[in-house]
Amino acid sequence: MKKLVLSVLAVSFFAAFSFAGKPFPPDNAYWNKTFSKLAEYQLTGQSKQLPLPYAYNALEPTVDAKTMEIHYSKHHAAYTKNMNDLTASTDYASKPIFQLFTEIEKYPVGLKNNAGGFYNHLLFWTIMAPESGQAPSGDLLKAINETFGSFDKFKEVFGNAGKKQFGSGWAWLLVKDDGKLAVSSTPNQDNPLMSTTEVRGIPVLTLDVWEHAYYLNYQNRRADYVDAFWKIVNWKEVTRRYEEALKAVK
Ligand code: MN3
């Protein structure tokens, strides 16, 4: 009897959420539909690197020109080429990579690593800009304050996600399916768009904490690199991405 009541409750619970047009918890189909509202949904496994939006030396002294050049022209170029090679002559060559991410366990691990590397760096370049004293404002600042308590507390939480990620990986600020912000970290080239990632959502800010991103200038001092990162965040672009993500999860 107790079991029956629980089942009825469970059915009503899920039915209630399904009626709202969104399965609970959000499934791969939900995420694919949500991602399809983003401009970057047009990216496929055959997409190429976009031009870097600034010169190699534009982020100095936080990121030195040599690091930027190797990072963009060697590391990011290699992920892109490998992704292009892996998807060429497959039936998913022209599928959006965001769609592939929503069911990434179905594909070869090389695709996860290289399509992840392709997209994560593409996003990373856009959310940095030459030092300009920018800071978040408006609805984004309000959401940061509501979620983390203050902007300083957010920087601490995000910074720790990057500093404490063991080995290579990324720190993320993302918009979850409920429109709320969250901070997370992922190993390797994983990201919050992937079905294999625990905290799923639309990333709006990210930081590469692979050694290749900082070793020439900071050597083993990853924490110094993470702390310096705030000087070159392109908050205008993060805000644009935040607004786009909010509309997509609605
Ligand atoms: Mn990198």
**Dist CA 92 CA 80 (whole Å):** 16
Output the pLDDT for position 22: 82
CA of 71 to the centre of ligand 1 (A): 6
Instruction: Compute the average pLDDT of residues 161-177.
Output: 97
Full-model pTM: 0.92
147 pLDDT higher than 70: yes
Q: What is the CATH number of the domain that holds 100?
A: 3.55.40.20
2 pLDDT higher than 60: no
Residue 10 is assigned to a structural domain of this protein = no
CA of 40 to the centre of ligand 1 (A): 19
Residue 6 is assigned to a structural domain of this protein = no
Output the pLDDT for position 234: 98
Residue 58 is assigned to a structural domain of this protein = no
Residue 124 is assigned to a structural domain of this protein = yes
Output the pLDDT for position 13: 52
Q: Which helix (H) or strand (E) holds 204?
A: strand 202-208
**Dist CA 176 CA 200 (whole Å):** 6
Residue 5 is assigned to a structural domain of this protein = no
CA of 171 to the centre of ligand 1 (A): 12
The CA-to-CA distance between both ends of the chain, in Å, stands at 38
Eight-state DSSP code of residue 25: S
Task: Pick the range with the lowest mean pLDDT from 131-135, 141-145, 224-228.
Answer: 131-135
15 pLDDT higher than 60: no
Per-residue pLDDT of 175-218, as tens digits, reads 999 999 999 999 999 999 999 999 999 999 999 999 999 999 99
Report residue 23's pLDDT band, with 50, 70 and 90 as the boundaries: confident
Per-residue pLDDT of 117-130, as tens digits, reads 999 999 999 999 99
Residue 104 is assigned to a structural domain of this protein = yes
Residue 50 is assigned to a structural domain of this protein = no
Report residue 6's pLDDT band, with 50, 70 and 90 as the boundaries: low
CA of 49 to the centre of ligand 1 (A): 14
Report residue 18's pLDDT band, with 50, 70 and 90 as the boundaries: low
Output the pLDDT for position 167: 96
Residue 55 is assigned to a structural domain of this protein = no
CA of 13 to the centre of ligand 1 (A): 43
Per-residue pLDDT of 76-102, as tens digits, reads 999 999 999 999 999 999 999 999 999
CA of 120 to the centre of ligand 1 (A): 8
CA of 9 to the centre of ligand 1 (A): 47
Q: Work out how many domains the chain is built from and give that number.
A: 1
Report residue 17's pLDDT band, with 50, 70 and 90 as the boundaries: low
CA of 209 to the centre of ligand 1 (A): 7
CA of 169 to the centre of ligand 1 (A): 9
CA of 29 to the centre of ligand 1 (A): 29
**Alpha-carbon separation of residue 59 from 11, 124, 129, 212 (angstroms):** 54, 13, 7, 16
Higher-confidence residue of 4 and 23: namely 23
CA of 4 to the centre of ligand 1 (A): 52
Output the pLDDT for position 153: 98
Instruction: Compute the average pLDDT of residues 4-8.
Output: 53
Range of the structural domain that residue 84 is part of: 24-43+64-250
Q: Is 209 helix (H, G, I), strand (E, B) or coil?
A: coil
CA of 183 to the centre of ligand 1 (A): 19
